[in-house]
Structure 1
Amino acid sequence: MTTGQFAHLHRGDPAHTSWEAGSLHGRFWEVVAEHPDRPAVIGTDETLSYAELGARARAVAAAVDGAKRVAILVDHGPDLMAAILGALSAGALYIPLDPLYPVRRLEQMAELAEPDAVVISPRHRELAARLAPGVPHVVPTGTAGFTPVTVDPDAPAYILFTSGSTGVPKGVVQTHRNALFQVRTHTANLRLGPGDRVSVLSSFSFDMAVTDGFSAVLNGGAAVPVDLHRHGLNDLAAHLDAHGVTVYHSTPTVYRHLLDSLAPGRRLASVRAVLLGGEEVVRRDLERFVAHFPDGSVFINGYGATEISFAVQNHLTTAAIEAGQGVGAGVVPIGRPLDGAGVELRAVTDGVGEIVIRSAHLASYWRVDDPRFGVDSDGTRFYRTGDLGRWLPDGLLLYQGRADRQVKIRGNRVELGEVEAALAALPDVDRAAVAVRDGSLVAYVKGRATGVREALAEALPAFMVPSRIVPVDAFPLTPTGKIDVNALPDPVVVPEDSPAPVGEPARTIAAIWSEVLGLERVGASTAFFDLGGDSLRMGRVQRRLEESLGVKVPLATLYAHPTVTSLAAHLSQTQTSAAEVNVSLTSAATDRAARRRQARTRPGT
């Protein structure tokens, strides 16, 4: 395949035979009939064929029959896919509630969505009762002969919640017609078919997982969900290889951690398409692609929003990258608009303007009117993204940052105002401001700063919790009386009174933390997350510790012992216990061998 032959992919493949369907679940049941024995979902612990996934979906549908809005409180994996397809087959819209989210955040989402049924994993009964008291909590079991409900294509299919500037999550509602349009566009652009296996790495609370999951099971392919929060990144490459993933999709942050874990020259041989979205892609990402993926694969830099999913894409082959075609200077252009998604720049100054998406397939907000949505004079709906862009001479669009205070943290949309609202709700915080420093959130707090991160972690998702809390006596102001964010001090990373680590394995742990966090030193008593760490960096620490110490170190252990001192003490105790067990086992084995020798030397034996 030549570079020129790939050029049309951002507008779909004219030779690709598309399918038509009136609803998401309607298309799914067509695939079940066509490919009952093909793998549909390949999870960490089990693989479901289309027939088996269909059976579980029918059981869910029978259990929630009559419900209009079904919340889904199920762990990332095959049962989550079954719950989603079952809720849709019952004629309901679904609301994914990620069990890993803070309870307060889930309470807000459930309160806004007002579900009339909740599908749960058995271990989430108590949480479900707290989130939706008085609402039926369903644990589907067995099989059922449920007949899928026919729905209007313009009926809502799901509600996803994004960060809201008022401090309250905002629900994005998408219809079957629009979601099917997105999946068909994705199908044509990537030529998806029954032979594909698509990674599903993000939470189903994000549109990234919606696109990945449906693009797999509506085409007869297999979805490969991997719960990165539970299993970390260390085994991701092994998952991709073991299950023959052909389409890889993640944020650039996860992609970088994945490739950093690979040995030089190691290629992920089964992957034919790499799709990144949610953050800026840089030239170094393309170099990594060339080094670690097959020559015939294609790299896609995607841009979009929960309100429409992908709207712009830039498809690049190895040949194009090496020739410098469409790769930009430092930041890689996001590409050209997809069919059905017009893109304009409005309020342009010096060539830079706000990216406005015009489309018949835009979502809407749940029970909220928002001025970012509107209708042009020709009757086409538009959505003002708040992102800035610039058209390049070759017709590609270059992302230029945010026009408002919404930022992207590890691929997730974050309204700084929502984080500030959560800070303001804490009783010991007088005033607070949130800024981005080196790609991480930093909170500046007037008042008591101790325990702030822990308190926020109970109300906000992990990606919205600032990595550092900086106490201040007063805030610098602009001439108009607003906080001057640019004049806020740089955070002090390591407290001066934090002692240096002493002994082993404390020094080894500290050295690994310093390398992963990019710090000159770390203190023995400062928590990993207070040093700017996050879950992805924790995965890198896990891998390095296992390599250095030669033992398995579960992620749960790292979270339970967040300082160098506590982790070193735990690992030392664990190694001592293991050594004692080994001595005991060796002694027992020696005793058994001696008894066998004695038995063999007795008379008559």
Structure 2
Amino acid sequence: MCDDFSEKPAFWHLKRVVERYPDKTAISDGSTSLSFAELLNAVQNLASAIAGSVPPGKAVGLLIGNALWYPVAMLAAMRAGRPAVPLNPRDPFQRLAAIATSARLAAIVKPGPGGPAGWPDASPLKWIDAASCMGATEGSFPALPSDPSVDAPAIVLYTSGSTGTPKGVVNSQRAILHRVQQYVDACHIGPDDVFMPLTGPATIAGCREMMTPMLCGGTLYLLDIESAGIRAARDNFKRWQVTVAYLVPALLRVLMNGAASDTFSSLRIVRVGGEKILWSDIDRLRASVPESCFVQISYSSTETTGTQWFLPRDYPEQGATVPVGFVLPGIEYTIVGEDACEVASGEEGELLIKSNYTTLGYWVDGENVPLQASSADPRLRIFATGDLVKVDDTGRMWIVGRKGRQIKINGRRVEPAELELVLRRAPQVNDAVAVVTDANELVAFVVPARAGGSEFITELRDLIRTALPPAVHPTRLHSVAEIPQLKGGKVDGVKLRDLDRALNAQNAQNAQDVRPAADPLDIAGVAAAVWERILPGKKAAGSHWDDAGGDSLKLLQFVMELETALGRELNLEAFTVGMSFADVVRAASPGQDTSKSRVDASDAKPILFIVPGSIGYGPSLAAFGAEMGTVAKVVAVRYGDLNDLLKGHDTIPLMVDAVVEQISQAQPEGNVNLIGYSLGGGVAFEAAAKLAAAGRSVTFLGILDTNIGPGRHNYRETLARTVQRIRTHRVTVDRMILRALAKLFAQFGAEAVLARGIDWLKWGALARTRFILRLELEEILRMRAFGQWLARPKPALPITATLFRCRRTGVPADLGWSAFVADLSIVPIVGGHLDMLIEPYLSHNRPLIERAFLVRGA
């Protein structure tokens, strides 16, 4: 890139890329894509909406996860000249609302209209719908101001603060563009490269990983790993032929441990950073990527860039950790001791960085409080990193530790003071202290205000889960009579660490390996074995995941291995870092969903039960359910697994029984609202009939493109759907082969034989085959049951139904439903049967579905 790259704003660079590659794919999430020309249009429209809603100098929040609209919104805020404050949707809303108030946000951008369900209405906010700006016509929004200065505040990233409250680090466009330039120049990144960032968008690494391909003509694929899981991430590395990846060590370990040999064969650059890197991490990485793949080690923080280098294959191991490389151009640095004087070469000290590319300062009450400037050159800002480092005689830097108590967990900065503040504010706590162990674990000690039993720790755990993101949850939480102190009154950290080791050993000794009564499939036994393999030394029975030292990345690995062990897909949304082992068993049991089993009585919105199609409650239906959360309390119902299907071919009644039982548990009384997709439309209809027979009132019955009329066996349409699934990467050739195999066995009534054979596929690459083959057989048997149900007579119901109908040819307008309900309302929607609930069609269809639901649902 040219030397003056960081002198021009990001939008200027985007326009240059559009001139060269207007029709090339810029961003995709696998189902929705934007070309560079479409990206430019979306950025301009959204920038105009932001400029019209947010006064100059005020900040705008971005409440968007690792999804297509985040990079659009980030560039749009820069173009509008409004500082953007990324907000992680997975963090507790209580914390995010506090940040919004502290940052003096004027508006928040999110996909869809209005604020999210559960958002505390503490301050007046405008909500900007990112998706609605996509189709806006020219002139719909006010004219944009001139390009802002590259030295103005652009991104404000809130990190864990040493005072106990989050702090906003202010970065300019110049600082971000400098990171992009260093990345592109060092790694020779160009239009043939493909990125798939797995780090959170509300981090500086996430901003860099998204900006880089967009500003050099590469392709950006987006995947929310916490929703999709490890298995999907691995599949997409191969499917999308990803060439450049950034991984924190904790994610690297989970992602590459046990992956197939060709999973990462397309990678040519892997950048590793975010926390200390062990030589064992490098060994695992090199065993998984091609020999031609370069491994780049980097060190940086939210406030500044730092070092990087390409690790030679023959570089000798020295100690447990890997050096972080050489200081980057454009940076001056000093290493100082406790006396603030520069240390001698090779000695340890705190790293001070002086540069024009460091943070501008910190965002306080809606304004930037500047960082200290250099007396010699006011353009240069001085940042004390707090990292203890040493530089060897070759100029390579090594990270030794931290000056303060701050740690990094899965690449996310964590200050123990934030945990302490939440605990000390609890009325049942007299005092609280958090310490960091030698194993980089966060452990908390609390002094209760009054004598209490085991429920005391449980209450505090629940408080932590509602107030803090998972990275700030303590690995262990101990109740003690007092906090040990040194003679001067300071907390005795050494004694607390010794006490933690003793209490942890005692708890392990006292742990009873008592498991719930074994079910026929021994789900509890299988789950316990996987739990104890991933969390060695931590008994599953009676434990909570976070109490046992599990974090979000290990949870993803746990769910993936549990799926493989059980041979079926699980609902990832049902698994949380705070769940107990009993919750795990329920979530893994057929027909269960702990994430939706209890409905919040304080939420005044009506309940809406979503009944899935033959493939179950997959990612697209889950995304639709999340979007419907603005108008309803959404409850996803579940079907049984392959073992239930093998009990008999007449399975629609079994599905109906499961649906009615789950409805009765979640909503024992009151009017019922149902919406079913595809096969689920038929199941919802039968469930409505059963509920009506039991005296329940069904006020809303929504049917999402379920065809029960003549012309349903349209082979041309089936072929078109298959082609579409392959074209949009929803299914691979090997999966089509396994599907054909499952169909063959089912056609000859030998599905039980195939099921027994599937159970033998448990080792190595065969485990993945077992998982996919089981899913395909389940879908085929459900569709066969649906075909048998279609052939039987159906009683008419004295209720009103709403049919949301995709455009079809050769079938009746009512898809056969008019004869079976007293009144049928037909709502045409856009998209096809497979993609009507995903973007860009969801943005058009969801308001239609919401409107129909609000008219009848109660």
Contact 1:374 / 1:383 at 8 angstroms: preserved in 2?
no
Secondary structure of 1:442's partner? Answer: strand
The equivalent of 2:91 in structure 1 is 101
Secondary structure of 1:451's partner? Answer: helix
Q: Distance in 2 between matches of 1:452 and 1:494?
A: 21
Q: Distance in 1 between matches of 2:118 and 2:47?
A: 19
Cα deviations by residue, 1:179-232 (Å, 9 ceiling, x for unpaired): 222211221111111111122212221101011111110111112222122222
Contact 1:280 / 1:331 at 8 angstroms: preserved in 2?
yes
Instruction: Indicate which of 525, 545, 548 corresponds to 1:528.
Output: 545
Q: Distance in 2 between matches of 1:544 and 1:204?
A: 27
Contact 1:41 / 1:48 at 8 angstroms: preserved in 2?
yes
The equivalent of 1:130 in structure 2 is 120
Q: Distance in 1 between matches of 2:152 and 2:426?
A: 40
Secondary structure of 1:427's partner? Answer: coil
The equivalent of 2:649 in structure 1 is 585
Higher mean alpha-carbon deviation, 168-177 vs 579-588, is at 579-588
Q: Distance in 1 between matches of 2:336 and 2:296?
A: 26
Instruction: Indicate which of 526, 531, 536 corresponds to 1:513.
Output: 531
Secondary structure of 2:47's partner? Answer: helix
Contact 1:340 / 1:359 at 8 angstroms: preserved in 2?
yes
Change in 2 beyond 3 A, CA 1:153/1:131:
farther
Cα deviations by residue, 1:427-463 (Å, 9 ceiling, x for unpaired): 1111111122333211111114232122112221110
Secondary structure of 1:270's partner? Answer: coil
Amino acid at match of 1:31: V
Q: Which runs of structure 2 are paired with 1:229-248 in the superposition (5 Å)? A: 229-248=226-245
Change in 2 beyond 3 A, CA 1:523/1:88:
closer
Higher mean alpha-carbon deviation, 195-204 vs 271-280, is at 195-204
The equivalent of 1:430 in structure 2 is 430
Q: Which runs of structure 2 are paired with 1:58-207 in the superposition (5 Å)? A: 58-66=44-52, 67=54, 68=56, 69-122=59-112, 125-126=115-116, 130=120, 133-140=123-130, 141=132, 142-145=135-138, 149-207=146-204
Contact 1:109 / 1:169 at 8 angstroms: preserved in 2?
yes
Contact 1:158 / 1:175 at 8 angstroms: preserved in 2?
yes
Cα deviations by residue, 1:262-309 (Å, 9 ceiling, x for unpaired): 14x44511111111111111111221222111222211111111112x
Change in 2 beyond 3 A, CA 1:115/1:30:
farther
Change in 2 beyond 3 A, CA 1:128/1:359:
farther
The equivalent of 2:307 in structure 1 is 312
Q: Distance in 2 between matches of 1:92 and 1:523?
A: 48
Contact 1:55 / 1:143 at 8 angstroms: preserved in 2?
no
Instruction: Indicate which of 187, 208, 211 corresponds to 2:208.
Output: 211
Q: Distance in 2 between matches of 1:105 and 1:270?
A: 39
Q: How far apart are 1:481 and its partner, in Å?
A: 2.0
Amino acid at match of 2:127: H
Change in 2 beyond 3 A, CA 1:173/1:467:
same
Q: Distance in 2 between matches of 1:75 and 1:412?
A: 16
Change in 2 beyond 3 A, CA 1:580/1:441:
same
Cα deviations by residue, 1:108-158 (Å, 9 ceiling, x for unpaired): 211122122221222762459636743321114122436654112222211
Amino acid at match of 1:90: A
Instruction: Indicate which of 339, 353, 356 corresponds to 1:360.
Output: 356
Change in 2 beyond 3 A, CA 1:369/1:71:
closer
- 1:55 aligned to 2:51? no
Q: How far apart are 1:339 and its partner, in Å?
A: 0.4
- 1:457 aligned to 2:465? yes
The equivalent of 2:275 in structure 1 is 279
The equivalent of 1:345 in structure 2 is 335
The equivalent of 2:585 in structure 1 is 568
- 1:548 aligned to 2:565? yes
- 1:469 aligned to 2:477? yes
Change in 2 beyond 3 A, CA 1:254/1:496:
same
Contact 1:73 / 1:128 at 8 angstroms: preserved in 2?
no
Q: Distance in 2 between matches of 1:313 and 1:247?
A: 16
Amino acid at match of 2:527: I
Contact 2:350 / 2:384 at 8 angstroms: preserved in 1?
yes
Cα deviations by residue, 1:449-504 (Å, 9 ceiling, x for unpaired): 23212211222111011122111122222232222122121243559365511422
Amino acid at match of 2:20: E
Corresponding pairs, count: 572
Amino acid at match of 1:429: V
Contact 1:358 / 1:381 at 8 angstroms: preserved in 2?
yes
Cα deviations by residue, 1:534-576 (Å, 9 ceiling, x for unpaired): 1111111112111111111222233399333343355445499
The equivalent of 2:711 in structure 1 is none
Q: How far apart are 1:403 and its partner, in Å?
A: 0.7
The equivalent of 2:289 in structure 1 is 293
Secondary structure of 1:168's partner? Answer: coil
Return the index of the structure with the highest Cα Rg.
2
Amino acid at match of 1:549: L
**TM-score of the superposition, structure 2-length normalised?**
0.63
- 1:226 aligned to 2:240? no
Higher mean alpha-carbon deviation, 391-400 vs 206-215, is at 391-400
**TM-score of the superposition, structure 1-length normalised?**
0.88
Contact 2:93 / 2:119 at 8 angstroms: preserved in 1?
no
Q: How far apart are 1:72 and its partner, in Å?
A: 1.4
Q: How far apart are 1:47 and its partner, in Å?
A: 2.1
Higher mean alpha-carbon deviation, 123-132 vs 144-153, is at 123-132
Which protein has greater RCO, CA pairs closer than 8 Å, 6+ apart?
Answer: 1
Amino acid at match of 1:392: D
Q: Which runs of structure 2 are paired with 1:397-408 in the superposition (5 Å)? A: 397-408=397-408
Q: Distance in 1 between matches of 2:372 and 2:288?
A: 41
Q: Which runs of 4+ in 1 moved over 6 A?
A: 15-18, 368-372, 587-594
Contact 1:58 / 1:143 at 8 angstroms: preserved in 2?
no
Q: How far apart are 1:177 and its partner, in Å?
A: 2.1
Q: Distance in 2 between matches of 1:229 and 1:123?
A: 24
Q: Distance in 2 between matches of 1:567 and 1:369?
A: 45
Cα deviations by residue, 1:294-335 (Å, 9 ceiling, x for unpaired): 222211111111112x3111212xxx22x225x533210011
Contact 1:254 / 1:536 at 8 angstroms: preserved in 2?
yes
Instruction: Indicate which of 26, 30, 48 corresponds to 2:16.
Output: 30
Q: Distance in 2 between matches of 1:288 and 1:435?
A: 30
Amino acid at match of 1:467: T
Amino acid at match of 1:453: R
Q: Distance in 1 between matches of 2:222 and 2:577?
A: 26
Change in 2 beyond 3 A, CA 1:132/1:25:
farther
Q: Distance in 2 between matches of 1:63 and 1:430?
A: 48
Cα deviations by residue, 1:80-135 (Å, 9 ceiling, x for unpaired): 11122222222222111121111122112111221222212227624596367433
- 1:261 aligned to 2:258? yes
Higher mean alpha-carbon deviation, 566-575 vs 158-167, is at 566-575
Change in 2 beyond 3 A, CA 1:557/1:495:
farther
Change in 2 beyond 3 A, CA 1:252/1:497:
closer
Q: How far apart are 1:586 and its partner, in Å?
A: 5.8
Secondary structure of 1:303's partner? Answer: strand
Q: Distance in 2 between matches of 1:328 and 1:282?
A: 11
Change in 2 beyond 3 A, CA 1:291/1:16:
farther
Higher mean alpha-carbon deviation, 376-385 vs 199-208, is at 376-385
Q: Distance in 2 between matches of 1:40 and 1:78?
A: 10
Q: Distance in 2 between matches of 1:124 and 1:527?
A: 35
